[in-house]
Amino acid sequence: MLSIFYKENGKILKLEDTVWIDLVNPTGAEKRAVEAFMGTEIQSRAQAEEIESSSRYFETDDAIFANTNFLTPGPEEYGEQAVSFTIMDDTLATLREVPLRSFTELQRRMQVNPKQYPSGFSVFASILDQRVDLDADMIELLSKEISQYARQINDQEDIDQELLIDISQMQENTMVVRENVVDKQRLISNLMRSTKVPRSLENRLNVLLQDISSLLSHTNFCFERLEYLQDTVVGLINLEQNKIMKILAVVSVFLMPPTLIAGFYGMNVRLPILQTDEPNANFWNWVIILGLMALSCLLVLVLFRRKKLL
């Protein structure tokens, strides 16, 4: 799809009359037509996804080429969509594969009040401004989700392996958001050093850099908080496992003396005390053995109490 925003009354006469050309998953013919109109090459998706600094931003004598990623929220993790920007003679061309909220909202604003966007550079700055605002909303949402996990841990509700996996996924999302914000910071810094960018946008770009710095501080805090929660969950799980092992050990030690007595008097040999010819000998034999078992359990219980093991 191809969308064009221009200055004059419904007709595109020259390149300088065009403000913004937005390409969304274009066909080869559309892309070639825009390249011919602008007189420069528009980078492909593969070029836009390269991670080298020299590929993310570079300039020629008459054009600026910039690539960055825009986050798209998913049910569990965030996806990244590569977007390519080309500025030629104050005309902006953007190339992306999917619809993005930042672009959609800006296009609506341009249709309502086009005079606020007189050039491709102003549109470019507005897109970045929209993107930074959305990144801030994502970080705010991450912070709320982290607070929910913290309350769940404080209330000791459903602290298990699944909670640990959820926290790990939240850490991954936080790192993705931070990486995306750092990419915007690098892009804006390059724009501020460029001699092609109008000086009228300098204050606006400075404000964006300040906003990005605050977002980076928030993401660092979120990541540190997630690490703390992860350590807390691991500690609580270990404590719970230690309690289980302690109970098993206590039960084993508690039953050792009765087991020893039962094994001793279960031997097929003549034993003291129990060898008698009285009629009720079997009954008293059981009483004596059970009494010894109970006494041994009581002694173990008293010993554990004194040692504060129970």
Q: Are 288 and 273 in contact (CB under 8 A)?
A: yes
Q: Which of 39-43, 75-79, 145-149 has the lowest mean pLDDT?
A: 75-79
Reported as a pLDDT band with limits 50, 70 and 90, residue 130 is confident
Beta bridge partners of 4: 21
**Is the pLDDT score of 102 beyond 80?**
yes
Q: Which of 151-155, 158-162, 264-268 has the lowest mean pLDDT?
A: 264-268
**Is the pLDDT score of 147 beyond 60?**
yes
2-239 belongs to which homologous superfamily? Answer: CorA soluble domain-like (3.30.460.20)
Reported as a pLDDT band with limits 50, 70 and 90, residue 277 is low
**Is the pLDDT score of 268 beyond 60?**
no
Give the model's pLDDT for residue 285. 66
Q: Which pLDDT tens digit goes with each residue over 82-101?
A: 888 888 888 888 888 888 88
Domain positions in the chain are 2-239, 245-306
What does the block give as tokens for 52? 């080298």
Q: Which pLDDT tens digit goes with each residue over 215-237?
A: 899 888 888 888 888 888 888 88
**Is the pLDDT score of 109 beyond 80?**
yes
Verdict on whether the full-model pTM lies above 0.85: no
What does the block give as tokens for 168? 């790990």
